[in-house]
A and B are shown apart, each in its own frame.
Chain A
Amino acid sequence: MAANAPLLELRDAVPSFEESGLMPAPYNLRIMPGECAVIDCRDVERAALFADLCTGMISLTQGSIKFMGLDWSVLRDRQLNALRGRIGRISRHGGWLDMFGTHLNIMLPHLYHTSEPFDHVVLHATELGHKFGLPGLPISAPDRLSAADLARAACVRAFMGRPALLVLEDISDMLPEETVLPFLEMLTAARDRGCGVLWLVRSGAAWHDYRKAVNIHMRLLDEGLFSMRVV
């Protein structure tokens, strides 16, 4: 990735309507390393689809989406997966495998994409867990955890390792009040390392405390992505 190159760039990207259900309008977005883009979208399904679009999971009929200078559409499966391994993601739905314990769910992407010793991964995950208010790594299945603990675990998983991009769907309604500050601190720390942030929110309340640190504010509507004034 060249210096001063955008981390994530959507250039007139028109998603396939048949595949995604997203309106086939041209989407334009450019996130530089360390930047934070907040996308307002009330519809959580559409927000999840847009997150999928940015991570190269929806094919395009026109335009291109580049992440770290690489076009998703020209990469092969192994390269696609390796590149997605650089993205920390919080999903609102479908992110947990109930057949594994939550601890394995948290560490799974990191164990899959890196060869870091297992003990280090456990230690790192436990430390992050403490920061987000978990007493340790929860070993019970995700469907047995409360919504608040699952939201904490989702944060731990997203911040594991050193992601180059954070794609965060809105879980502010599940995240306990005392976890909001550590979450924003971690977000800032990640941005200081050069990590870009794509934060999909449902309302202004979700990112109100972070408003001054946001670089890009856009609104995702049926018709496409529209710029908003950052206050």
Chain B
Amino acid sequence: MTGTPPDTTGQGTARPGGMALPSAQPEPENRGRLIALLGRFAPWLAAIGRLTRHQVRFTLLLIGAGWGTLRESLRPNSWRRPVKYEFRATLRQVVSGGFLSIVITATLAGLMVVSQAAYWLGYAGMAQMTGSILVSVLVREISPILVGIILMGRSGMLSLTEIGMMVLGGEVRGLQARGIDPFLALVMPRTFAFTLGGFTLGMIFAVVSLLMGFVVAHASGAITSSVWTFFFNVLAAMTTWDYLIIPLKFVLVGFFVGLGACISGLTVSSTDTMATIMPRGFARGIMLVLVVNILFMLDF
């Protein structure tokens, strides 16, 4: 055998031509430098990671819970009697609790937007554009945002507080101990009640705001046509997409406001108090309302 014996000295092996292979000695130095560098930046990296995870957590929770809600709602076994009861009670609270606020807000919005649009478009000689302007500005863009905010303020915060307090008081654990799934008993029915409530209140908002706007504009002489002609013009200005998008916006705003409130309530920690639950829930709710509207604005 004529093989070269392995170099065990750790000094490196001489190559023909006088070039030496890099020796093993500098490696620990490099490694040590790398570790020191990592040690210096590790707290920063950890802080960035913590912040990212914390920020993304709610979004991921929302996606998962949204999918879970839809999936569970398709099972007939999920709609048990207490679940139906909770759905009806929440729907009643959402619609009756928000009705007056919706009517007042819609009246004010109608007074401002419809009368101003009718006046200025008439002044500019573009009165025929009144319908399409009202549909795109008032019904499609402003209504879902205002309905979402009212829904959140009147009912979303209530759900958030109720569920949050139930978690902190151990009542949710009590439900689990009796074999009642809090997701099925609280989150799913409330989310669907908010969804249906959002659609109902949204339609009321759209009709009332247009009607009140017409009344004021008609009284001031900015609009001279009859109420039927006015509504006919508004409907004629709506495209096929509008018939789909407007109800969909109301439905999605309701869905996400309800789901966001319930999930925020269900995920409170033992260190949370009303002072921390409420502002967090409010900020999340506003963000969800705006995100739903902005997503639609980008696509259509």
Contact = CB atoms under 8 A, between A and B. Distances in A.
Interface of A: 51-52, 55, 57, 77-78, 80-87, 89, 91, 93-97, 99, 104, 108-109, 111-113, 118
8 contacts: A55-B177, A80-B179, A81-B176, A96-B171, A104-B82, A108-B82, A108-B180, A111-B82
Contact of A112 (B82, B162, B171, B177): B82
B180 A57 contact: no
B181 interface: yes
Interface string B174-203: 111111110001000000000000000000
A57 B82 contact: no
Contacts of B166: 97
A57 B166 CA distance: 17
A44 to B, nearest CB: 13
- Interface size bucket, B side? 20 to 34
Interface in B200-243: none
B170 A93 contact: yes
A94 B179 contact: no
A81 B170 contact: no
B276 to A, nearest CB: 21
Q: Is the interface of B mostly helix, strand, loop or mixed?
A: helix
Given A57-B176, A96-B171, A111-B80, A81 B181 contact: yes
A83 B177 CA distance: 10
Contact of B81 (A91, A93, A118): A118
Contacts of B180: 81, 108-109, 112
B171 A109 contact: no
Contacts of B176: 57, 81, 84
B169 A85 contact: no
Interface of B: 80-83, 85, 162, 166, 169-171, 173-181, 185
Contacts of B175: 97
Nearest to B179: A84
A52 B181 contact: no
Contacts of A80: 179
A83 B81 contact: no
Contacts of A96: 171, 174
A176 B174 CA distance: 24
A113 B174 contact: no
Given A81-B180, A89-B177, A94-B174, 20 more contacts: A81-B176, A81-B179, A83-B179, A84-B177, A84-B178, A84-B179, A91-B177, A94-B173, A96-B171, A97-B166, A97-B174, A108-B178, A109-B178, A109-B180, A112-B80, A112-B82, A112-B83, A112-B178, A113-B179, A118-B81
B162 A99 contact: yes
A91 B80 CA distance: 24
Contacts of B169: 94
A85 B178 contact: yes
Q: Which of A51, A85, A109 has the most CB atoms of chain B within a 10 A radius of its CB?
A: A109
Contacts of B179: 80-87, 109, 112-113
A131 B169 CA distance: 30
A97 B162 CA distance: 10
Nearest to B84: A111
B82 A95 contact: no
Contact of B170 (A83, A89, A94): A94
